[in-house]
Amino acid sequence: MQTKVSLFRLLAVLLPGLTLSLPAADKKGPAPGTAEREAEFYRMVTLPTPPGVQFEAGSLLFLGPDKLACATRIGDVWIAEGVRGEPAQPKWTRFASGLHEVLGLATRDGWIYATQRGEISRLKDTNGDGRADVVETVTDMWGINGDYHEYAFGSQFDRNGDIWVVLCLTGSFNSSNPYRGWCVRVSADGKVTPANSGIRSPGGIGFNALGEVFYTDNQGPWNGACKLHWLKPGAFIGHPGGNKWFDEPMTKDAILKAGLKKPAEPTSGGRLYDEAKRIPELLPPAVYFPYGKMGQSAAGIACDVSGGKFGPFKDQLFVGDQTHSTVMRVFLEKTADGENYQGACFLFKAGFGSGALGLEFASDASLFVFGTDRGWGARGGKPFALDRLIWNGKTPFEIHEMRAKPDGFELTFTEPVDVAAAGDAASYTMENYTYIYQSAYGSPEVDKGTPKIVSAKVATDGRSVRLKIEGLVEGHVHELKATGVKSAQGKLLLHDAAYYTLNQLPRQ
């Protein structure tokens, strides 16, 4: 969630109940008509929320095929039966209240685990009346100071039985409590294990198809743009504000036991790619979401493990953006040395009712998107919304995957291409750029280049194109426009832009 300092943001903090319009600078995003074109393939159902309730998004959790738990920013947990009906007529029950901005839900052994600002709690209904009557603290290791920005995003349980929690810095700049600016793993019985330092302002957390953990972080100090980052255990994610806990008596023994090494202090004003060569623990982002082009507040993560029931994007990640009220799509691949991920992001779906914060797939492979404007505004226009996205079985013409090659990229498509159009190098354009790695807020796009697309060769099956490109640069985002590509039936791409974060060129 984005926290750029401005009068607009200040008013939102001082008057949290006030709904404000987005300033002009925040009105970038998908072109008019985008949502309508996307609706040909994915239809959206808006669910009624509890009447009279400030139902701003926190987190989602399915408790059964048609039973959904929704945690809200104001600290309630609601459970709905019948969320997949059409028309949608869910029956809502308030399961718990009085919590503090729940941004993570998980379930185990009949308990619901709620990641709040200051702790993880577990809740249970023991008498069957639909409301939690037992609430227990699992851990309150990190605590809070009262700053409005002290978010704590929690995952569901991983395959080892841990919840992963990414803890926002105090005020998004400093670390005033243990593990603020860290990711920690929390077992069901409350054992806390530090996993990563370097977190700034998370917007969501989730797993890929292999069960590895990723989170989104937002543009700000030491973050040139919003990003998707692999939480590789032991890695330094980039913001040094929380590194003080390597030396504090109350945390240093646990950090040492977990095998984490304190990274060197990064130098402000350089490039992250270069600093990562100097600081072994520093792990570059897997994917950048170029600011304004792809969104402004990267948020929740969901992985399509439906095996094709949500369309042709099996095992890819879907990431919400709170400001633009959109969902983006991410294709990832491992770097050649296996030490990181890299990949491309694409716009997937615009037009959600509010800022897309919480994402969760149902067992029928429909995607639920829980929204909030949080007083900051969101392109969707509503203060909150709960939407369901359903694939209608019709395949959109899209770039399916974008893979790095030693001398270019390989694109696969969801449908066969027109060989003449896709095989013409003039059908594509590319520019690349990176960001300043600095303590100041965010970064413009810098070190820009225009790689030359030398040739485009279509595979014999018509489903992929091999682009030979001169001028690829490691550490840069490579922004590809494929405006001239058509399908064999003459259709243009539904989304013709791709943004590939190149951490490492493959070996020959």
Half-sphere exposure of 54 (CA within 13 A, CB side): 13
Q: List, in sequence order, every residue forming a beta bridge with 68; answer none if it has no partner.
A: 62, 80
Sign of CA dihedral 159, 155, 4, 288: positive
Nearest CA to 59 among 168, 133, 154? 154
Q: Is the pLDDT at 15 greater than 50, yes or no?
A: no
Domain extent listing, the chain: 7-391, 399-502
- What percentage of residues in the chain have a pLDDT greater than 90? 89
pLDDT of residue 337: 96
Asked if 226 and 288 count as a contact pair (C-beta separation under 8 A), the reply is yes
157-178 per-position pLDDT tens digit:
999 999 999 999 987 688 999 9
The structure tokens 């170029």 sit at: 290
**126 — pLDDT class (breaks 50, 70, 90):** very high
The predicted pLDDT at position 5 comes to 34
DSSP, res 451: -
Q: Classify 229 as helix, strand or coil.
A: strand
CA-nearest of 280, 163, 146 to 213 is 163
Q: Following DSSP, what letter does each residue of 262-301 receive, concatenated?
A: PPPPPPTTEEHHHHHHH-TTB---SEEE-BTTTBSSEEEE
Residue 246 has pLDDT above 90, yes or no: yes
Q: How far apart are CA 264 and CA 354, in angstroms?
A: 41
Mean pLDDT of 382-405: 98
| Among the listed residues 410, 407, 502, the one whose alpha carbon sits nearest the alpha carbon of residue 457 | 410
Q: Supply 480's token pair.
A: 């590809």
Mean pLDDT of the chain: 93
Q: For residues 476 and 432, is the Cβ–Cβ distance under 8 A? A: yes
Would you place residue 249 in the very low, low, confident or very high pLDDT band (cuts 50, 70, 90)? very high
- The full DSSP string for 484-500 is T-BBTTSPBPSS-EEEE
Note whether 7-391 and 399-502 share their fold.
no
Could you read off the pLDDT of 202-219 as tens digits, one per residue? 999 999 999 999 999 999
With a cut of 90, say whether residue 17 has pLDDT above it: no
Is residue 444 very low, low, confident or very high in pLDDT (cuts 50, 70, 90)? Answer: very high
CA distance 229 to 212: 11
* Secondary structure tally for the chain: helices H, strands E: 5, 33
Kindly list the distances between the CA atom of residue 223 and the CA atoms of 310, 447, 502, in Å, as whole numbers in the listed order: 32, 16, 17
pLDDT at 377 over 90: no
pTM: 0.94
Going by C-alpha positions, the residue among 328, 326, 327, 323 that lies closest to residue 378 is: 323
Question: Which residue would you say has higher pLDDT here, 19 or 332?
Answer: 332
Can you give the pLDDT at residue 129? Answer: 96
The residue to which tokens 């969901």 are assigned: 302
CB 123 within 8 A of CB 96: yes
Q: Which of 27, 24, 20 is nearest to 295 (CA)?
A: 27
Residue whose token pair is 């100071």 = 145
Q: Which residue type occupies 135?
A: V
* pLDDT for residue 12: 35
What would the two tokens of residue 315 be?
A: 């095992």
Given pLDDT bands bounded at 50, 70 and 90, which one contains residue 240?
A: very high
Q: What CATH architecture is 399-502? A: Sandwich (2.60)
DSSP structure class, residue 96: E
CATH architecture of 7-391: 6 Propeller (2.120)
* C-beta neighbour count of 102 within 10 angstroms: 28
The secondary structure element, H or E, covering residue 8 is helix 7-14
pLDDT surpassing 80 at residue 155: yes
Which two tokens mark 491?
């259709």
